[in-house]
Amino acid sequence: MRTKQKMPPQMANGSAKLPTWVDIGLLPLINVALAFVVSGLLIATLGQDPFEATWIMLRGAFGYEESLGYTFYYTTNFIFTGLAVAVAFHGGLFNIGGEGQAYIGGLGVAIACLALDQYLPFGLLLPICVLAAALFGAGWAFIPAYLQAKRGSHVVITTIMFNFIAASLMVYLLVNVVIKPGQMSPESREFASSAWLPYMHEALAWFGWEVAQSPLNLSLIGALVCCVLVWGLIWHTRWGYEIRAVGANAEAAVYAGISPSKIIILAMCISGALSGFVGINELMGVQHRLLLDFAAGYGFTGIAVSLMGRNHPVGIILAGLLFGALYQGGAELAFENSAFSPDLIVVIQGLVVLFSGALSYMLRGPMERLYLRLRPPPPPPIASVEA
Amino acid sequence: MTAAGSSTSSAFPPAIELRGINKHFGPVQANRDVDLTVPVGTIHGIVGENGAGKSTLMSILYGFYQADSGVIEVGGQVCPIHGPEYALAAGIGMVHQHFMLVDIFTVLENILLGAEGGALLGPGMAAARAEIARLEADYGLEVDPDALVGDLAVGLRQRVELLKALYRGANILILDEPTGVLTPQEAERLFEILTAMRDRGVTIILITHKLQEIMAITDNVSVMRAGQMVAHRETAQTTREELAELMVGRQVLLRVEKSAADPGDVVLHADGLSLIDDAGVLRLDGVSLDLRAGEIVGIAGVTGNGQSELLEVLSGIRPPSRGRLSVHDRVIDHDHPCEPEEMRDLNLAHVPEDRQRMGMISAFAAWETAILGYHRDPAYTGPILLKTDAIVEDTDGKMDRFDVRPANPQLTSDSFSGGNQQKLVLAREIERRPDILLVGQPTRGVDIGAIEFIHRQLIEMRHAGCAVLLVSVELEEILSLSDRILVMFEGRIVGEVAAADADAQMIGLMMANAHETENAAANG
């Protein structure tokens, strides 16, 4: 730092401030639009009609009840993993391990279900499973967190490695331990129905509202509750205050009597617990058994969701919805037209991540200049404004 | 040889003439219709508060920024400066506040850097050596060309920077706050060199916020305020008071008025405190001191002689490696550390030296910064939720009482000017009514109007019976506020003086740890 050029204060504070609606509303929309334009060009070079493809994707994601159910079901997972990344991010930690934490969280759910589903009713089993998901997810995040806090091992490296460890561990357990005897596929036995989280279409039917069947289940409500809790935690409790303090300026946090090691562990454990809830949605909600690879990249996509949602629960819901729609609409597109392989859908998702995540500040400069041109600057500061 | 104000009476065209310079960063107009004329062979001071636009103006002249409009003339020729290389070609050199030297290179290698004069170093080196010898002789810039820059004292490194600029043929030098890191003796030596340069026709622009330097060395002075040039004066025709008033736009009290101290009991007692940092370097070396209720003890010293570490140990941020510290009845040593939180419970408050790095969190709203360190206080937080409304109201009161502008607790902390940030931090610490107040660099980067206010607050704390430990690199501040002065050098306290007996010269010698050797020389 010492050799860095000294910048005048005006530069140090960054340049012009964009109004909030441009910053968190318009810019992400333009970024997503750009991603779709490039995707459209790509589709066109494959000899397909991009407008038709867009239409199929939109209809596939939102067009009818069943598709909406699927979209929201994916969204549920993205909200959990997106929130997980966001909590860690506020503490200045980049938790890449959502995938493994979700996987191990699911293991906790499965252990609880397999052990207790014969004895306990749903009402008792559910809180135990939620707790198990949180504990196992948090536990898997705790080790990298501890290594970061006490030994200085970078959490990005360790969480990535822990994804692989989780995957290997699950293969071992499913093949050797929890596999249902006498079958070839590495899956546990099916949970008893007392461990099944009601589907949304079932729940709505209790109120006399008949909707089409889909994997969407009551986890969505849990995800929305988590959004409120995370919002409250981060901005309205002293633990959130301490997490943000450590994330924004660890030195000032130490000055304020906050222990960064404790906060790193706290933030990572909350993060891991949130990832673990993917296990509730997937195993109790849909699969009703433990199986391989049920986390299916939700943990990784959560990074993009959180990034795009600016680490705020509301943004994460919206970004989760976008990625849910991409997953579901993309699946529909691949189903309708064999020219669109699932890989192409992944490319489109990748473009969205690229433009709204990695390049999210690309348009900021031009946007600021445009904004300044459209709106002339307020009168320059005069002497009396100075304190 | 001096020319009055902006109209030059010299036969030569001015070295630098700026006309109608405008520059804005976003909606902030950093420079507004700035005119400046600097006659050849003069030392021209530019003063102004932080954020007045001095640095921006010089960055435009040196090519770091392009002006939105306006004309730059060098030696009577219109000279567009699109980058530092254009400035160098026009004979303009700049010495930055933070030196741009490679520590592991020799002086000669540093001077040659970027002007090697060919693929092989040999011939360039020889030519440079001769040229440096000439410059040394001409200007009194003595420095060993074969010494490693990392081994040199700060004052000598600055000479290397000057040599670097001169070697590149600069005949116009811009110096940005050149004395910030120097002892008074080093500063005096620098001024002698600058005067020698001026006498040989070099034009010097000196940016500073120290008015006594302006008075001591410049021929002309220009005052900037809020992005505009508000006055040009011939230094001989003006006074410090007038310049201060021009800078701030109103009358300023430069002297601090205070009555005699009435020290009470010892509230903080340090006994042989030492600190060895992670790299194994001894940062504090057996520091012992007493702090009594109702007195201000000033710690003087050149930056980096252990003052920061002393504050960190006294405030609990770092435990001492050796030695003991008593705060009231609590005894603290290496095996019984006292965390900052417990220190606050002992009624010890700490205004850190670097508020940006430690005293506040830039991204936090002002109300969040205003409870930093006290956020576990039941007044601010319930069992789970923060009492946001109460905190905001509390911050509103603090902003009102400490005149923080704009008085809006919702603005992010970094949107306030340095002085207002500092007032917010002071309000946070002072309103706890501590028994012991540690204050580091209370007025660094703070405008003159706020300095007056901050000094008054510290004196009032003393009157209220608080023990104040003041660490500052501004010797004047130490001299005018303290009742006792301790001088630090290389982690040790090398002297103690009652404020009444102290003068800048004597403290300055102690800061360089030269007083003992001088005494010895005088006696022997």
pLDDT of residue A231: 97
**Helix (H/G/I), strand (E/B), else coil: B206:** strand
Contacts of A55 (CB under 8 A, 6+ apart): none
B439 beta partners? B351, B470
CATH architecture of the domain covering B266-356+435-523: 3-Layer(aba) Sandwich (3.40)
Residue A7 has pLDDT above 50, yes or no: no
Q: How far is A13 from chain B (nearest CA, A)?
A: 7
Instruction: Please give the Cα distance from A284 to B216 (Å, whole number).
Output: 81
What's the pLDDT at B294?
94
Flag whether pLDDT at B86 surpasses 60: yes
Quick one: pLDDT band at residue B250, thresholds 50, 70, 90? low
pLDDT band, very low/low/confident/very high, at B52 (cuts 50, 70, 90) = confident
Check residue A137 and give its pLDDT. Answer: 97
Contact criterion met (CB < 8 Å) for B55 and A248? no
> How close A352 gets to chain B, by Cα (Å)?
28
Q: Do the chains contact at B417 and A13, CB–CB below 8 Å? A: no
User: pLDDT digit string (tens) for B308-348?
Assistant: 999 999 999 999 999 999 999 999 999 999 999 999 999 99
Instruction: For strands B16-25 and B28-38, give the pairing.
Output: antiparallel
Q: Do B226 and A248 touch (CB under 8 A)?
A: no
Instruction: Answer for the pair A318, A309: CB distance below 8 angstroms, yes or no.
Output: yes
Given CATH 3.30.2130.10, say whether it is the number of domain B16-248. no
Across the interface, of A10, A17, A237, the residue whose CB is closest to B56 is A10
Would the CB atoms of B227 and A10 count as touching at under 8 Å? Answer: no
The band of B3, judged by pLDDT with boundaries at 50, 70 and 90, is very low
Chain B, window 380-419: residues with a beta carbon less than 8 angstroms from a chain A beta carbon: 381, 384-386, 388, 403-405, 414-415, 417, 419
Domain ranges of chain A: 49-365
The residues in A 346-375 lying below 8 A from B, measured between CB atoms, are 368, 372
Mean pLDDT of chain B: 87
ipTM score assigned to the predicted complex: 0.82
Summarize the confidence of residues A47-72 as an average pLDDT.
92
Q: Is the predicted pLDDT of residue B490 greater than 70, yes or no? A: yes
Q: Nearest 5 degrees, angle CA B420-CA B422-CA B424?
A: 70
Cβ-contact B229, B36 below 8 angstroms: yes
Q: Are B112 and B160 in contact (CB under 8 A)?
A: no
Task: Choose among A381, A373, A303: nearest CA to A87.
Answer: A303
Residues of chain B with CATH 3.40.50.300: 16-248, 266-356+435-523
In angstroms, the first-to-last Cα distance of chain A is 30
Q: How far apart are CA B494 and CA B520, in angstroms?
A: 15
Determine contact: A251 vs chain B, CB below 8 A: yes
Give chain B positions within 8 Å (CB) of A9: 50-51, 55
- Average pLDDT (B386-399) is 95
Q: What is the dihedral of CA B189, B190, B192, B196, to 10 degrees?
A: 140
**Is the pLDDT reported for residue A9 higher than 60?**
no
Write the burial class of residue A50 (CB in 10 Å: 0-12 exposed, 13-18 middle, 19+ buried).
Answer: middle
- Shortest CA gap A25–chain B (Å): 20
A-proximal residues of B, 443-462, CB under 8 Å: 447, 449-450
pLDDT of residue B253: 58
pLDDT exceeds cutoff 70 at B462? yes
* Entry field: residues in chain A: 387
Q: Three-state SS for B29?
A: strand
What is the reported pLDDT for B522?
44
- Containing B85, the helix (H) or strand (E) segment is helix B84-89
For B110-167, write each residue's pLDDT tens digit: 988 877 777 777 787 888 888 888 888 888 888 888 999 888 887 888 889 888 888 8
Residues facing A217 on adjacent strands = A199
- SS3 assignment for B259-291: CCCCCCCEEEEEEEEEEECCCCCEEEEEEEEEE
CB contact under 8 A, B96 and A5: yes
Rounded mean pLDDT of B452-461? 92
**Both tokens assigned to B373:** 């360190």
Is B249 close to A383, i.e. CB distance below 8 A?
Answer: yes
User: Taking Cα atoms as reference points, which of B51, B49, B30 lies closest to residue B414?
Assistant: B51
Q: What is the C-alpha R_g of chain B? A: 25
- Beta carbons of B352 and A255 less than 8 Å apart: yes
- DSSP for B97-131 reads SS----TTSBHHHHHHTT---SSSHHHHHHHHHHH
Between 1.10.10, 1.20.1270, 1.10.3470, 1.10.4030, what CATH number should domain A49-365 receive?
A: 1.10.3470
Cα B437 to Cα A74, A111, B290, B486, distances in angstroms: 56, 56, 13, 16
B373 vs A257: CB contact, 8 Å cut-off? yes
% pLDDT > 90, chain B: 47
pLDDT digits (tens, 9 = 90+) for A146-167: 999 999 999 999 999 999 999 9
State CA B394 to chain mean position distance. 32
The pLDDT score that the predictor gives to residue A162 is 97
Task: Evaluate whether B103 touches B148 at the Cβ level (below 8 Å).
Answer: yes
Contacts of A241 in chain B (CB under 8 A): 368, 375, 386
B30 closest CB neighbour out of A8, A17, A254 = A8
List of chain A residues whose C-beta atoms are within 8 Å of the C-beta of residue B360: 252
* A282-286, B170-174, B194-198, B504-508: range with lowest mean pLDDT: B504-508
Q: How far apart are CA A58 and CA A330, in angstroms?
A: 9
Top residue of A236, A239, A249, A384 to mutate, by most chain B CBs within 10 Å, is: A249
Of B478, B488, B395, nearest in space to B443 by CA? B478
**Poorest-pLDDT segment among A21-30, A318-327, B309-318, B452-461:** A21-30
Report which secondary-structure segment, H or E, holds B158.
helix B154-167
Band (pLDDT 50/70/90 cuts) for residue A375 is low
pLDDT in tens, B282-317: 899 999 999 999 999 999 987 778 999 999 999 999
Q: φ and ψ at A7, to 5 degrees? A: -100, 145
Q: Which residues of chain B make contact with A312, given a CB cutoff of 8 A?
A: none
Q: Is B258 on the interface with A (CB under 8 A)?
A: no
Long-range (24+ apart) CB contacts under 8 A made by B5-10 are B5/B37, B5/B220, B5/B232, B5/B233, B5/B234, B6/B35, B6/B36, B6/B37, B6/B232, B7/B37, B8/B37, B8/B39, B10/B39, B10/B40
Instruction: Please report the pLDDT score of residue B11 as a whole number.
Output: 63
Q: A11: distance to nearest CA of chain B, Å? A: 7
Question: Does A4 score more than 50 pLDDT?
Answer: no
Q: Choose among A343, A331, A347, A351: nearest CA to A60.
A: A331
Q: Which residues contact B62 (CB under 8 A, 6 or more apart)?
A: B81, B84, B87, B92, B94, B174
Stretch among A51-55, B230-234, B447-451 having the lowest mean pLDDT: B447-451
Q: What predicted TM-score, i.e. pTM, was given to this entire model?
A: 0.79
Cβ pair B226:A251 closer than 8 A:
no
Q: Quick check: B61 pLDDT over 80?
A: yes
Select from B447, B421, B33, B451 the least CA-distant residue to B227: B33
3-state secondary structure of B412: strand
**In this complex, is the C-beta atom of B376 within 8 Å of any C-beta atom belonging to chain A?**
yes
Is the pLDDT reported for residue A368 higher than 50?
A: yes
User: How many CB pairs lie under 8 A apart between chains A and B?
Assistant: 138
pLDDT value of residue A341: 82
The pLDDT assigned to B8 comes to: 42
C-beta separation of B360 from B371 below 8 A: no
CA-based nearest residue to A307, from A82, A22, A12, A21:
A82
Q: Flag if A8 and B386 touch (Cβ within 8 Å).
A: no
Query: What average pLDDT does this structure show over B195-218?
Result: 89
Question: For residue A3, which phi and psi values (nearest 5 degrees)?
Answer: -90, -5
